[in-house]
A and B are shown apart, each in its own frame.
Chain A
Amino acid sequence: MACIERASPALNQILLKLYSAEKPVEIDHHLYEFGSFKYHILCQACEPQVAYLSISTPPLCPGILTSNKLSSYTIELIKRLCPGVVEIAEATREGYQLTLRLNLTKIPRRNDYVKVIKEISTVHSVILSSQLKEILWNFNSDDAIKGMHKPIKLAYNPREPFFVIRQPPRIIAVFPIRFAEKSDVIISTAFFQELVDVGSLDKYTKAPPCSWSAIPPPELRGEAFEDLSTNGGFVSFDISAHHVDGKRLDKTVWNLLNFNAYVRFHVKTTKGFIQRRMRKRLENLVEVLHHTESEQDNEQITRHHGCSCTKGLLVKSSKYNILKQRWGNLGRKLKRIHFRVKIQGFGRFRQRWLRLPKFSSSRGYTKLG
């Protein structure tokens, strides 16, 4: 699923193609991805060892990150991505926030090149994760003194914002859930109940505790009405220091950013599963109705002269009718064949030898068994 994988599949594919091309290739691609990400990849034939990758992303939190430029922390993290291969270009392409200069000759030639290119393709996840980390670290000290922590609205996908509330020593992430169809709401609600159940097991004490409620949690009181009107309820995760410790920080941040997409993917696949199962069940139910073969084997059909006391079957054998129809059609086609060359006596030959066999009718006199 493209929106959950860290590496952008389209960018990965283009970079791999560029790297493995035998002759110099000119590339000038514009890509648009989930989360309103824009990429521009440029590689010119005159300079085949170098590619320029420009990136543009809307701010994760428009209220806090007012400047369109990336912060120094984000730039620092990007520099750590494959240091020998990726450099930040001095001149940024117009309309983009960042332009990277990729030196393709510095990518190792052995099996590691796939790993390196995949790491470069994760640049958008690095930018997003760093933005969320900064938001979580920098909080308004005035609010902390008063004891109020205003919810921060984050919009990875503009139509599905979520909230983050800092309440030391924990952070609460609240996801308002909205679906267009009622059936999606019910499937997702069943999923959230399972999520809460599994989260309460001993085995998953290390995972952040989650809860679901149909009404907005108290932490969101005072927020705009359109943000709080939902049909799928609210899912909350309690993130503690343990979940943002060291390497876990990246995973936690990425999982939170993609939670909505994960839920929608699950609902979509569940609907597909229900459809497949219904189709299979239909075949079984219809098979019961049309089942005749085993009944024909078991019954002895005896027809007597003058009357047809055939033991009726559940359904008139459809196979017999279909076969009879097909033979009839074939026979009519043969009769209509117009031969260009007229051969004397062929008509009689056709009538005598090319006649189609007649099947015995239900009123015929056939003794079986």
Chain B
Amino acid sequence: MASTLRPYLTCIRNTLDAAMCLQNFPCQEVERHNKPEIELKSSPELLLNPVLICRNESEKCLIETSINSLRISLKVKQADELENILTKKFLRFLSMRAEAFQVLRRKPVQGYDISFLITNYHCEEMQKHKLIDFIVQFMEDIDKEISELKMSVNTRGRLVATEFLKQFI
């Protein structure tokens, strides 16, 4: 499993490096408005082809680019029901606090667990390679955190079960 992680992350990193070439582009339809074109999708000429990178059936990353914005959607692996609920709870927790992350989207794209929206303003304020590092590191941290949470829940359950059965001895 670990052998496919590095190539997967490297592929995502390289794709983001190529896709994160954003510039300011005012809205073509409404005067004096500046909107992320990837969210509107009203002008096909401003959109690039989306790229889907799959590690396996359950883990994938969708990168959608436009002239002034980029959307990254992630599907995290969920091996069993416990991981499923832990992932849902944790990612929903993060999404609700999206303002702390600036680049996080409040609602994930349908079919995915979490989404980022990066605009040209983010690229102006932040360094591009640091932003990519953050996204990749975030993906690693999420996987690690879900695994640790699952282990902690099982360990707690074991301790509680032990204490319950000790009362009979």
Contacts and interface: CB of A to CB of B under 8 A. Distances in A.
B130 A314 contact: yes
Contacts of A315: 102, 125-126
> A-B pairs with the 6 shortest C-beta distances?
A195-B161, A207-B165, A194-B157, A191-B157, A207-B168, A314-B130
A218 interface: no
11 contacts: A187-B157, A189-B81, A191-B157, A191-B161, A194-B154, A208-B168, A248-B168, A252-B168, A278-B89, A282-B100, A315-B102
Contacts of B168: 206-208, 243, 248, 251-252, 255
A333 B154 CA distance: 57
A277 B168 CA distance: 32
Interface stretch (A39-47, A118-126, A197-205): A197-205
B156 interface: yes
Contact of A273 (B82, B137, B152): B152
Interface in B53-105: 81-82, 84-86, 89-90, 93-94, 97, 100-102
Interface of B: 81-82, 84-86, 89-90, 93-94, 97, 100-102, 125-127, 130-131, 134, 137-138, 141, 145, 149, 152-154, 156-158, 160-162, 164-169
Contacts of B125: 315-316
B167 A255 contact: yes
Contacts of B86: 274
Interface string A263-297: 00010001001110111011001101100000000
Chain A: interface size category: 35 or more
A183 B89 contact: yes
Contacts of A262: 164
Given A195-B161, A281-B145, A190 B93 contact: no
A285 B127 contact: no
Contacts, number: 107
B154 A190 contact: yes
Q: By CB atoms of chain A within 10 A, which of B89, B100, B145, B160 has the most?
A: B160
Nearest to A239: B168
A289 B141 CA distance: 13
A169 interface: no
A206 B169 contact: yes
A288 B169 contact: no
A285 B165 contact: no
A83 interface: no
